[in-house]
């Protein structure tokens, strides 16, 4: 192949010059087809497709409790039922902070942070600094500081880390709790209380079950199972009012839990 207006050209095989002319009708030019390049088969495109898919999660409205699906990258949304605003941001507190927080994101109180909000509602919390307010977590709360907790703590799951030494002045309401450090206060758990081998718990406990590993320490009153006589607040009012007369006739001393150490 060569330029159509060329007056002469050079043979690519023998190097001689000649005048180019169109090929005869009976001749066919043979062209070399490029060899196919072997493509390396890799799984990265498939993984890239998975990574590119938007991730979502389910959040509940603060007002009507309706749940709907939102993107992980969203900073806020509106409830499709009542049109209420829902904050989805994560908060990291490194200095003094006194405003109330109500978010479906995470709250991280750093060791230098000072959280004095009257109310903190979040999905999960990591508490490492000074806390002087009430905390309510939809999922979990991790305590990893030495100090006092004057406010209420409500969470589905609470973990007291090994280096923690916390004193709770108000009741801690949880579903399950793991104690790996030192904690003092009253715990009301609808599930299990687990005291690990490095854990120390001082205070009254009302729970469905308790587990104390070898080396763990517990000191206080313990109520396991149905606590209709000692913790009437956990049951509906009608249940407490319709208690059998035979149990009500028992002496007051028999209704009190025995101290366990």
pLDDT of residue 14: 77
Hey, how many other C-beta atoms are within 10 angstroms of the C-beta on 88?
18
> What's the pLDDT score for residue 72?
82
Label the pairing between strands 217-224 and 259-260.
antiparallel
Query: What predicted TM-score, i.e. pTM, was given to this entire model?
Result: 0.65
Distance between CA atoms of 224 and 193, rounded to whole angstroms? 10
Q: What is the pLDDT of residues 71-114, one digit of tens each?
A: 888 888 888 889 889 999 999 999 999 889 999 999 999 999 99
**Coil vs helix vs strand at 240:** helix
Sign for the CA dihedral angle at 158, 156, 126, 204 comes to negative
- pLDDT tens-digit profile of 3-37? 677 777 778 777 777 777 766 555 555 556 666 55
Return the domain boundaries, the chain: 89-226
Determine the 3-state secondary structure of 51 from DSSP: helix
**Band of pLDDT at residue 220, cut at 50, 70 and 90:** very high
């Amino acid at each position: 192949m060569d330029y159509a207006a060329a007056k002469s050209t050079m043979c690519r095989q023998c190097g001689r010059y000649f005048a180019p002319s169109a090929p005869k009708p009976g001749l066919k030019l043979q062209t070399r087809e490029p060899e196919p390049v072997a493509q390396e088969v890799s799984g990265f495109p498939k993984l890239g497709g998975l990574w590119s898919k938007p991730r979502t999660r389910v959040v509940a409205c603060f007002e009507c409790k309706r749940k709907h699906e939102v993107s992980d990258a969203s900073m806020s949304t509106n409830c499709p039922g009542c049109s209420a605003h829902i904050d989805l941001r994560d908060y990291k507190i490194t200095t003094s902070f006194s405003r109330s927080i109500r978010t479906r994101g995470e709250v991280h109180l750093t060791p230098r942070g000072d959280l004095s909000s009257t109310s903190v509602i979040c999905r999960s919390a990591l508490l490492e600094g000074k806390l002087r307010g009430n905390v309510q977590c939809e999922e979990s709360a991790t305590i990893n500081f030495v100090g006092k907790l004057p406010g209420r703590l409500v969470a589905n799951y609470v973990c007291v880390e090994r280096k923690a030494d916390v004193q709770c002045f108000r009741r801690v309401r949880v579903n399950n709790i793991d104690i790996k450090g030192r904690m003092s206060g009253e715990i009301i758990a609808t599930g299990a209380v687990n005291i690990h081998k490095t854990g120390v718990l001082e205070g009254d406990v009302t729970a469905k079950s308790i587990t104390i590993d070898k080396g763990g320490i517990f000191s206080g009153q313990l109520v396991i199972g149905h606590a209709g006589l000692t913790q009437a607040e956990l049951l509906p009012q009608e249940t407490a009012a319709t208690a059998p007369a035979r149990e009500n006739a028992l002496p007051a001393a028999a209704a009190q839990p025995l101290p366990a150490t």
